[in-house]
Homo-oligomer: A and B are copies of this chain.
Amino acid sequence: MQKSKLQFKIQNLKYDEKGLIPAIIQDYKSGEVLMMAYMNRQALRQTLATGKTHFYSRSRKKLWLKGETSGHIQKVKEVRFDCDGDCLLIKVEQRGGACHMGYRSCFYRKLRDKEGHIKVVYRKIFEPKEVYKR
């Protein structure tokens, strides 16, 4: 592994015209991709400051702490960014499930064939109605 002590200017990350950058969330142990969501500058700052992922909700137009309702917090283990500086990859320790549908990963379905049949490849680990009833 190469080592580098280059100063990366976090201000150099490229946000889109809405001020957002996509963040891929990956389980730091299993390597499972858990979800993808968007951060704005403030969400990234909060994520780095607290060690817990924060995102920007495009529908609710506000910052949110992942797990604020469900308790399914993501503890940040590593922050990576891509060659173009326009995408983040964040390795986390996921408490509970990342998906609001009750699965560990949002990517719980796969295409089975070109006709579009699908297969659910995760087991439900919680009941959304019970977790989000607040």
Report the copy number of this chain in the oligomer.
2
A111 touches B8 (CB 8 A): yes
Known: A81-B107, A107-B81, A118-B6. A33 touches B22 (CB 8 A): no
| Interchain CB contact under 8 A, A8 and B83 | no
Q: Is the interface of A mostly helix, strand, loop or mixed?
A: loop
Q: How far is the CA of A31 from the CA of B8 in the complex (A)?
A: 26
- Known contacts A31-B30, A31-B31; A4/B108 CB under 8 A: no
Q: Which of B10, B111, B115, B121 contacts A1 (CB 8 A)?
A: B121
Binding site for B on A (CB under 8 A): 1-10, 22, 24, 26, 30-33, 35-36, 48-49, 78-84, 87, 89, 99-101, 103, 106-111, 114-124
